[in-house]
Amino acid sequence: MSLQKYQTELIEHSLSAGALMFGTFTLKSGRLSPYFFNAGLLASGPVLDTLCSAYAATIASALKASPGLPEFDVLFGPAYKGIPFAAGTALLLHREHKIDVGFAYDRKEAKDHGEGGVTVGTPVKGKRVVILDDVATAGTAIRGAIDIVRREGGEVVGAVLLLDRQELGKAGRSTIAEVEELLGGKGRVPTILTMQNLMSWLQENGRTEELEKMKAYYEEFGAKDAA
């Protein structure tokens, strides 16, 4: 699987920032994973530039794909990590792809004064919304963001992920397939990186021991419908 330049750059920036690590990590599910991704550590100007450029390129490509993302009005970044990601991606969509959209995010606590409500930024009511998320394992966070936007009167037409771990979701299928079904069908949840992309990078860089551990984990827990 050949990697795009922006995918390689994002993997290497993430490793340098300590956001992507290979080793042995216990997930919330109790599984022992050979890698871990903490998007909260993507917190410098150059890394944010790389990440948001990758989000923007993925969105621009998905808008042209069939099936793919439909046209939309607002990017929604779930608090807190999603806030800078949505702002930066909206900027780069405009600057690099001539795609103009608003961005919004949620408050952790509803505001009862001023403009009130639980969302900040471009109003989502009556708008077509795409959600930005970081890592999809069980899909709990993305389902929560979908609920927030719908309660505020927005229509969620898609979601874009930084990393799809390609693991089985609650119904025994890939999490991506389950979320696509919620949002209207195949192509509605494009991702920048997948577990298989990480394995391709390990292979290209001769990191055989880590690659073998990744393959074994995928064989045991991977969603083969996500391949």
Residues 111, 170, 186, 224: which is the catalytic one? 111
Residues 5, 13, 113, 213: which is the catalytic one? 113
Verdict on whether the full-model pTM lies above 0.85: yes
* pLDDT for res 178: 84
The candidate with the shortest Cα–Cα distance to 79, out of 19, 149, 16, 26, is: 149
CA distance 52 to 89: 5
DSSP conformational letter for 19 = S
Contact at 8 Å (CB) between 125 and 154?
A: yes
CA distance 129 to 192: 18
Contacts 24+ apart (CB under 8 A), 93-97: 93/56, 93/59, 93/60, 96/53, 96/56, 96/57, 96/60, 97/56, 97/57, 97/59, 97/60
Contact at 8 Å (CB) between 223 and 169?
A: yes
Largest CA distance in the chain: 57
State the helix-helix crossing angle for 45-64 and 82-97, rounded to 10 degrees.
60
- Is residue 94 annotated as a catalytic residue, yes or no? no
* pLDDT for res 90: 98
Q: CA of 145: how far to CAs of 74, 93, 95, 124, in Å?
A: 13, 21, 26, 12
- Domains of the chain (ranges; CATH) run 5-221 (3.40.50.2020)
* pLDDT for res 83: 94
DSSP conformational letter for 53 = H
33's CB contacts (< 8 A; 6+ apart) are 24, 25, 26, 27, 217
User: Mean pLDDT by 10-residue block, N- to C-terminus, for the chain (227 residues)?
Assistant: 91 96 88 93 94 97 95 95 95 98 87 67 96 80 91 96 84 81 90 96 97 95 70
* pLDDT for res 160: 96
Tell me how many helices (H) and strands (E) the chain has. Answer: 7, 8
- Is residue 113 annotated as a catalytic residue, yes or no? yes
* pLDDT for res 227: 53
Amino acid symbol at 122: T
CB atoms inside a 10 Å sphere around CB 208? 10
